[in-house]
Structure 1
Amino acid sequence: MVKVLMVGNDSSVKGGITSVITQMLSHDWVADGVEMKFIPTYIEANNFKKIIFFEKAYSKIKTEIKTNKPDVVHIHMSYKGSFTRKFLIHKLCRNNGIPDIIHLHGSEFKKWYDSSNQKKQKEIRTLLKEASAFIVLGEKWNKVIKEIEPTTNTVVVNNTVHIPEETVKWAEPLNILFLGVLIKRKGVSDLLKATKLLKDDLGNNKFKIIIAGSGAEEENLKNEFEELKIDDVVNFVGWTDGEKKQKLLRECQMLVLPSYNEGLPIAILEAMSYGMPIVATDVGDISSAVIDGDNGYLVDPGDVKQLTNAIKKLINIDEFTKLSVGSKSICYNNFSDSLYFKRLLDLYQARWCCNEK
C-alpha cells in the first residue's frame, strides 16, 4: 500500500478547492492500493481561529510524519495565507525526507507573485524548485509556473468530474446558471449588466438567471440587480452543494462564468457533465474545457457586450442542442474521473525523494 497524507481545506470551506478534495476523498483509494489520510489545515473564521486551527493541524501532520511515515504528502495550495501555511508543511516534509506534491489551485497566483516583495518571491521560487511535483490545472498554468521558476517539476492534471447519465434538455424559459463564490473576480456584476441588456432586447419570457453562491459581494450584487430592475429574471438562491447542487444542475440549461481570473473551475466541468453549453471568459485554463463554437463561447473578461451576445446565441434551440452534445463529448474524452485518478495514482507511485532535488 502507498501511504498518502493529504492536506487542504476543511469541508466547511466554500469553493472549488473543497470540491476537488471532496472528489478525492470519495474515491476508492484502497482498490488502487493507496492508504489515504486527510488532515484539514484551513477553516473560514476570524484570524485568531484560523491560526489556532492551523497550529493544531500542523501538530497532527508532524505527528503523522514522525509515526506513520507517509510515502508522499499531497498539499492543496492557492496563494497568500495558503502559501504561507503550505510552505511550512513543505519544509516539514523536506526536513523528514518525505516527498510532497503541491497541487496549485490559486487563480491569482501569478498576480500575487508579481505584487510580492523580493523576500516572498524568493520563498515562492524555493517552493517551486524543491517540491517533488507541482500539479497545475492546464498548459497555460504550466507556462506561467515555468516562467516564475523554470526548474519546477510541473505535472499537468486537469480537474475532473463524475459524468452522470442525465443530459439537460432545452426548455423555455432557458435557465442560465452562475455557480460559484460571489467575489469581484468572478465577474457577476458583468453578468447582471448583460442580463439587463438581454431583458431589454428579448423581454422576460425567454430566459431566467439563477445565481447560486454566496460571498463578500453578495449585498452589493443584490443592490445592483435592484437598481437594474431585473428582479423578474434574476434569482439569488444562495450557496448550494451536495444534492441541492445536483438538482440545480439538472434543472438548468446553460452555465455562465464571466471571471477575471481562474484555474480550471469545477463548476464548468460539472455543468459540462450534464451537457450544458458554457459561456465563459478566456482566462486561466478554461479554454482547455470550453472550445469556442464547439461546446460554448469564450469572451474577454469585462466585455459586457460580448458576454450578452454569446448568451443570446444560445437562447436558440438549434445552437443549444449542438453545443450541448459538444459539452458532454468533451467531458467524456478529456475530464472523466477514471483518467484523473489514474494520473494521481501514477504520481503517488512515482515515489520521488526530496533529497534528489
Structure 2
Amino acid sequence: MKILMIGNSPKVHGGISAVIRQIREYDWKSEGIRMVFIPTFRGGCNTQKLLYFVWAYCRIVWTMVVFKPDIVYMHMSHHGSFDRKNAVHRLCRMFRIPDIIHLHGSEFVRWYGECSAKKAEKIRKLLRECGCMIVLGQEYNRQIHEIEQASRTVILNNAVIVPQIHTEWKECLQVLFLGVLIKRKGVSDLLDAIRLLKERGKLKSVHFVIAGSGPEEEALKKQAEDTSITDAVSFVGWIEGEKKMRLLAKSHILVLPSYNEGLPVAILEAMSYGMPVVASAVGDVPEAVIHGYNGYLIKPGDTGELANDLEKMMDREHFLKLSENARQLVIDKFSDKQYFHTLTELFFRTEKRKRL
C-alpha cells in the first residue's frame, strides 16, 4: 500500500509536529506500507506561507500522478490549516483517492463557531466528504458530530513510547511546563499560582521550568520579575529531541493550565516517566488525567486551585502514589503499540473500501 502523508514542516514547533515525527519514524515497511511525506506549512510571513503551500501543492499533484497513492493522510487543525487541507481534499476527489484527516486543533470547534455561514458550510462539507476523520478522544468526537452528524469519525488517542527511566522523588521537586507560549496555554495563570505558593512559604522545595517559546515569552518573563518569583522559575526556551527527553527525566510534575486542548502529547510523555499532572479539564485531557488518581484537574483560570493541587503533590507518599498510577495508565491505555495497530488497521480498511 502507498500512502501520501501531508502536514506541518518538521521545523514548526508544537504537538502536531511531534505526532507527525512519531508517525514518520515508525517502521511502516514492516506493515507492507510505503509512506511519502510532503509538508504544506512552514512559519514565516503570509507571502512565504503562501509560496510554500503553492510549491507543496505542485508536489502533491505530481505525487498523485507518479506515485499513485492508495490513500492521502492529512494532519489538520483550524484557520489556514483547514484551507490548505480542503484544497488537497478537492484534489483527492478529482483523482478518486480516499483521504483520511487527522484532526488535531484544540480550537477547531471554537473557530468553527466564529466562522461565517459560507465558511461553516465548507467545513461541514469537508467533514461529510472525507473518507475518515480521526479525532483524539470522546469529547472531541462528540463535538465534531454536533457540527456534522454525517462525519465518519474514528477515535485515536495520542500515544507515546514508555521509557525505562522512571521519575524519582526528591526533596526539591522540579515542576515542568512544556508548550508554545501563547495565551491559551495559561502560563500567566501558572506564574500567578507560583506567586501564591511563595506567599504561603512553599517554594523552598520546588522549582518551576518553563520550556517553550512564543509571542508571550517576554510578557511572561516580565510578570515573573514583577511578582518577584524569578528565583523559583527558569525559562529555558523551546526544547525538543534528546534535550526534551533529558528534561522530562529530571522533572517530577507536569503542569498544563490551558484554556483549550485536544489530548496533548506533552501530558502523555510526562506520564510515561511517572510524572503526575496538574492540567485544566478541557478537551480530552480528562481521558488521561484522572482527578486524584494520577494528577489533578482544574478549571481554566483557577489559580488558587492550581496552587492548592501543586501543594498537595509536595507530600512524598501522595506524590509516589500519583506517580505510579500515571505511568501505569500510559502503559494500559496510551501505548504506541496499540496506536500504530489501530492506525494500520484504519489504513487497510480504507484501502479495502476503495477497491470494493
Q: How much does 1:203 deviate?
A: 4.0
**Correspondence 1:12 to 2:11:** yes
Q: Which residue of 2 aligns with 1:65?
A: 64
Q: By how many angstroms is 1:94 displaced?
A: 1.1
How big is the alpha-carbon RMSD for the aligned residues of Structure 1 and Structure 2?
1.2
Partner in structure 1 of residue 329 of structure 2: 330
Contact 2:202–2:311 (8 Å) recurs in 1:
no
Do 1:97 and 1:354's aligned partners in 2 also have CA atoms closer than 8 Å?
no
Matching residue of 2:148: 149
Aligned-partner Cα distance in 1 for 2:210–2:157: 26
Which residue does 2:254 correspond to in 1? 255
Q: Could you tell me how far apart the structure 1 residues matched to 2:341 and 2:352 are? A: 21
User: Match for 2:272: what amino acid?
Assistant: S
Structure 1 residue 199: Cα displacement: 1.4
Aligned length: 355
Deviation at 1:172, TM superposition (A): 2.1
- The answer to whether the Cα contact below 8 Å between 2:72 and 2:100 also exists between their aligned partners in 1 is yes
CA contact 1:132–1:354 (8 Å) conserved in 2: no
Corresponding residue for residue 132 of structure 2? 133
Whether contact under 8 Å (1:133, 1:155) holds in the other structure is yes
Q: Structure 1's 203 and 139: CA in aligned 2 closer, same or farther, altered over 3 A?
A: closer
Q: Which stretches in structure 2 are left out of the alignment for 5+ residues?
A: none
Shift of 1:351: 2.5
How far, CA to CA, are the matches of 1:102 and 1:117 in structure 2?
Answer: 22
Distance 2:202 2:17 in 1: 38
Q: How does 1:40-189 map to 2 (within 5 A)?
A: 40-189=39-188
1:319 corresponding residue in structure 2:
318
1:43-80 residue CA offsets vs partner (Å, 9 max, x unmatched):
01111111111001011011111111111111000000
Amino-acid identity (%): 50
Hey, what does 2:301 align to over in structure 1? Answer: 302
Q: Deviations over 1:78-122 (max 9, x none)?
A: 000000000000110111100000000110001100000000000
Which residue number corresponds to residue 338 of structure 2?
Answer: 339
Structure 1: distance between partners of 2:36 and 2:138: 29
Structure 1, residues 145-164: CA drift from partner, whole Å, max 9, x if none?
Answer: 00000000000000011110
**Whole-angstrom distance in 1 between the partners of 2:127 and 2:221:** 41
Please give the alpha-carbon distance, in whole angstroms, between the structure 1 residues aligned to 2:230 and 2:224: 7
Matched residues in 2 for 1:46 and 1:355: separation?
39
CA contact (8 A) 1:74 1:102 kept: yes
Secondary structure class of the residue paired with 1:349: helix
- The residue identity in structure 2 corresponding to 1:315 is M
Taking the TM superposition and a 5 Å limit, the aligned residue runs for 1:238-253 are: 238-253=237-252
Q: Which whole-Å deviations, capped at 9, do the CAs of 1:238-265 have from their partners, x for residues lacking one?
A: 0000010000000000000000000000
The Cα of 1:353 is off from its aligned counterpart by 8.2
Matched letter for residue 119 of structure 1: K
Secondary structure of 1:256's counterpart equals: strand
Dislocated runs of 4+, deviation >3 Å: 352-356
Q: What is the TM-score when the length of structure 1 is the normalising length?
A: 0.98
| Residue 204 of structure 1: aligned partner | 203
- Find the aligned partners of 2:165 and 2:320 in 1 and give their Cα distance: 15
> Partners of 2:46 and 2:170 in 1: how far apart?
46
Could you say what secondary structure the match of 2:39 adopts? strand
- Alpha carbons of structure 1 residues 149 and 354: separation in structure 2 relative to 1, 3 Å: farther
AA aligned to 1:241 is: E
Task: Give the conservation status (yes or no) of the 8 Å contact 1:94–1:355.
Answer: no
| 1:287 aligned partner | 286
**Contact 2:293/2:322, CA 8 A, preserved across alignment:** yes
For 1:62 and 1:310, how far apart are their aligned partners in 2? Answer: 52
CA distance in 2: counterparts of 1:160 and 1:62, whole angstroms = 31
The CA distance in 1 between the partners of 2:161 and 2:353, in whole Å, is: 33
Q: CA deviation at 1:355?
A: 8.5
Mapped contact 2:70–2:351 kept (Cα < 8 A): no
CA distance in 2, matches of 1:335, 1:264: 11
TM-score by length of 2: 0.98
Q: Secondary structure at the match of 2:181?
A: coil
SS in 2 for 1:86: helix
Q: Deviations over 1:263-314 (max 9, x none)?
A: 0001000000100000000001000101111100000001111111111110
